Structure 1
Amino acid sequence: MCGIVGLHLRNPELYPRLGELLSGMLCEMSNRGSDSAGVAVYGDPRWTPPGRGCVSLLDIGAEAGAVGVAVGSEVGLDVDVTMIGDTYLLTSDKDSESLLAAAKVVYPEALVAGFGADLAVLKGVGAPADLTASWGLTTARGWQGVGHTRMATESAVTPSGAHPYAVGPEQCLVHNGSFANHATIRRELQSAGVRFDSENDTEVGARFVASRLAAGRNVETALKELCATFDGFYTLLVSNRDSFAVVRDAIACKPAVIAETADWVAMGSEYRALSGLPGVEKAAIWEPEPEVVYAWQR
């Protein structure tokens, strides 16, 4: 049992409240599992300045300034590094994928939490209330956020096993449930050259979706292919810089609720994650149908 939440803001007047609202949603789900937690925040100008490449890294074990100098020397441009909790958030005028490649040369053992324009991914071991406080999440702003609190069942309680899994540019995936055939699909992806950072079944789903998006599918098609390929019980939320999508398995075993107003679209594992959102009393609220992909564009 895990808890997932997502918030897509349509009204720019709410952008300054993204972190506040996302924190409340995530902490409300903490009793669904508090082994580890994570968030993806799109559009905070302090963490991910517009027009800059961005990379979120963990497990470096060096002073932030030294990381900036080392990666900057490799990439050939200045690299700024901000520490948010245990996450090293690297930004540069270089594009995100080039910045990531340089960081991997200098710190090959670092865990890549996420990368892409306007995207900061923070995750760690511990309860959501403690982690969100250490990140200063309530002060974050932006147009979209995704969160996850985990009850570990498939792999170790480590940052690499925490969600979101953000394995493609500006993409992330969070998951409540279990994939029964993930080992077979992992081997197929590995034979195609895909590398993995954990033993978590969710990473297999994330790598599968990322491979389909890289091949030119849109998010709806990628998720329909996932439903046709993966066995198990799951609710998934997948986002990129400009989209937000939800899908459940064929018997809709894992809970999910979606709410929509003119100002925002939100989802949570339970309604109480949404109950504090502004204007929720006027929202259209429903449970997503089995294997129906619900998607919104920015």
Structure 2
Amino acid sequence: MCGIVGLFIKNPKFESELGTMLSTMLDVMTGRGPDSAGFAVYGKGHDGVVKMSIRGGTATDFNAVAADLERATGAALSLTVRSTHAILELPADRESAVRAALHDRHPDLGVVGSGQRIEIYKEVGLPADVARRFDLARMTGTHGIGHTRMATESAVTTAGAHPFSTGPDQCLVHNGSLSNHNVLRRTLIREGIGFTTDNDSEVAAGYLTARLRQGDTLKQALTRSLDALDGFFTFVVGTESGFAVLRDPIACKPAVMAETDDYVAFGSEYRALADLPGIAKAKVWEPEPATVYSWERAA
């Protein structure tokens, strides 16, 4: 049992409130997942610049790491440190070089996501503590997704926390379990998709990445996943411009959505949405099984 939440801002005046709203939603889902939590926020981006979300530890000297990477690659890096994570901003054409140097020179650190606009943070602990640690309430952006984990099938680790990202500006949170993820993982590895954990949810993210690389839209990729993924699941997915929700054909995991003129919200339970502004007048519904719900931000 896990809790998942998502928020897509339709009215730009609410972009400054994204972090506050998402933080509250995440906290409410503690009862569904007290072991660890994580979230992705799509904020401002710049053409030709990649944000790389780096996971370290409490003792990591990110300033020293950034300086070392600059010396090793010649890339000009900008650094923002938030507790055990850091965001490196770098020229897009230097991403491969920085990743290689990071892997070779700092193997204890992990890249949990990258892209023009995405930032990912995740950690072991109660969701409210994780949100405070990374100062989620003060973050701004157009959309975000979050996850609270109850680890029933694997160890409680930061690496095992959601969201999972296997492609640029793309991430996924998942409530459920996949039965064919090991077979699919081997297929995806042959297609060039890399994995860092044995979590089935990372395989789901990898499948979507593979389909997006082949030219599918997010909606098409999710529709194909209904045949490719065997198990039960609810997905909330983010891309640079999009936000989507999908439940499996049986839809045994709880889910509720709400939409107003200002936002679209998803929660594993209605109580995750109860404190959102204007919720009393929102259209509220349970998403149908095997149906993709998606929204795109204006270009």
Please indicate the TM-score interval, normalised by the length of the shorter structure: over 0.9
User: For the residues of structure 1 that align with 2:26 and 2:284, how far apart are their CA atoms?
Assistant: 19
Q: Tell me by how many angstroms 1:50 deviates.
A: 7.2
User: More deviation in 159-168 or 48-57?
Assistant: 48-57
% same residue: 47
What amino acid sits opposite 1:25 in the alignment? M
Aligned partners of 1:176 and 1:235 also within 8 Å? yes
1:50–1:118 CA contact under 8 A, matched in 2: no
* Match in the other structure for 2:186: 187
**2:70, 2:76 within 8 Å by CA — same for their partners in 1?**
yes
Partner of 1:8: 8
Where does 1:1-298 land on structure 2 (aligned, <5 Å)?
Answer: 1-43=1-43, 45=44, 52-59=49-56, 62-95=60-93, 97-98=95-96, 99-298=98-297
C-alpha displacement of 1:96: 7.5
Q: In structure 2, what is the Cα distance between the partners aligned to 1:188 and 1:14?
A: 41
Aligned residues: 295
In structure 2, relative to structure 1, the CA distance for the partners of 1:96 and 1:179 (3 Å cut) is farther
Residue range with higher mean Cα deviation, 150-159 or 73-82: 73-82
Q: Distance in 2 between matches of 1:96 and 1:287?
A: 44
Q: What does the per-residue CA deviation read over 1:218-270, in whole Å, with 9 as the maximum and x for residues that have no partner? A: 11111111110111111001111100000001111111111111111110101
Cα distance change, pair 294–101 in 1 and its aligned pair in 2 (3 A): farther
Query: Which SS does the other structure have where 1:167 is aligned?
Result: strand
Q: Note the C-alpha offset of 1:77.
A: 2.5
Alpha carbons 2:41, 2:141 under 8 Å: kept: yes
SS in 1 for 2:111: strand
DSSP 3-state at the match of 2:167: coil
TM-score, structure 2 as length reference: 0.93
Secondary structure (helix, strand or coil) at the match of 1:24 reads: helix
Matched residue of 1:166: which SS? strand
Q: CA deviation at 1:100?
A: 3.8
Q: CA separation in 2, counterparts of 1:134 and 1:95?
A: 32
**Could you tell me how far apart the structure 2 residues matched to 1:96 and 1:10 are?**
33
8 Å Cα contact 1:245-1:294 kept in structure 2: yes
* Distance in 2 of aligned mates of 1:51 and 1:6: 27
> 1:102 Cα deviation (Å)?
4.6
Deviation by residue 1:99-153 (Cα, 9 ceiling, x = unmatched)? 5455334434532111001111000111101111111111111111110000112
The 8 Å contact of residues 77 and 94 in structure 1, kept in 2 or not, is answered as: no
SS at match of 1:220: helix
Distance change in 2, residues 1:40/1:50 (3 Å): farther
Alignment gaps of 5+ in structure 1? none
Deviation at 1:88, TM superposition (A): 1.8
SS at structure 2 position matched to 1:122: strand
How far is 1:280 from its partner? 1.0
Are the counterparts in 2 of residues 55 and 96 from structure 1 also a CA contact under 8 Å? Answer: no
Deviation, 1:54, is: 0.4
Deviates more, 1:147-156 or 1:105-114: 105-114
How far apart in 1 are the matches of 2:93 and 2:115? Answer: 8
Q: Tell me which amino acid in the other structure corresponds to 1:57.
A: I
Alpha-carbon separation, structure 2, partners of 1:217 and 1:104: 30
